Amino acid sequence: MRHFKNFMMLFMALTLVTFTSCSSDDDGGDPAQTAASPGTITAKVNGTTVTSVEIATFATLASGNLQIQGNTGGTSSKAFVMNIVGFDGEGTYPLGGGANIFNVASYTTTVVDLNDPTNPEVRIWQAPYDDTQVGEINISEVTETKIKGTFNFSAKNGDDDSIRNITEGSFNIDF
């Protein structure tokens, strides 16, 4: 629980940062490559496909900051969270790659033992974890009501230094 609280504090601090991130002039990728079903996020985590449920998947845009989040739900859940600071539409947003890039992503697993539900096991892998670019988020379509795109990143767990490779990620979410 302590790690979850630390992650949430980090997340809140990053969303309050008003620095502008870099984005390329790229068009954000081919919309046909966005394979996620409407209302979901899907990706391979170390080769295993993980797909969020629609009821626990959302995107919010406020003050130029975009958050995309999806959770599989259940007592053994997995979640993706991606934040773009200084979002300015379709394009490619790097994760890492320098001190002036504030875009972040994470992959979280939560296991709840029903015999002790107040003590869940939460593990968080975060990107970036150093000053190199470890992935990117590609926005291929954004309207007033929805956002579509793809993503990939490598994320590191601060407790044991393990790495999770998030590949073939896509989202198709209503605001």
Tens digits of residue pLDDT in 150-165? 999 999 999 999 999 9
Distance CA 170, CA 175 (A): 16
Domain boundaries, the chain: 2-174
Provide the pLDDT confidence category of residue 36 given band limits of 50, 70 and 90. Answer: confident
Q: What are phi and psi of 56, to 5 degrees?
A: -115, 30
Our CA angle for 59, 122, 86, nearest 5°, is: 30
- Check residues 101 and 45 and name the one with the higher pLDDT: 45
Provide the pLDDT confidence category of residue 99 given band limits of 50, 70 and 90. Answer: confident
Q: For the residues 78-86, what does the mean pLDDT come to?
A: 97
- Identify the weakest region by mean pLDDT among 18-32, 73-87, 96-110: 18-32
pTM score: 0.79
Contact present, 31 and 148 (Cβ < 8 Å): yes
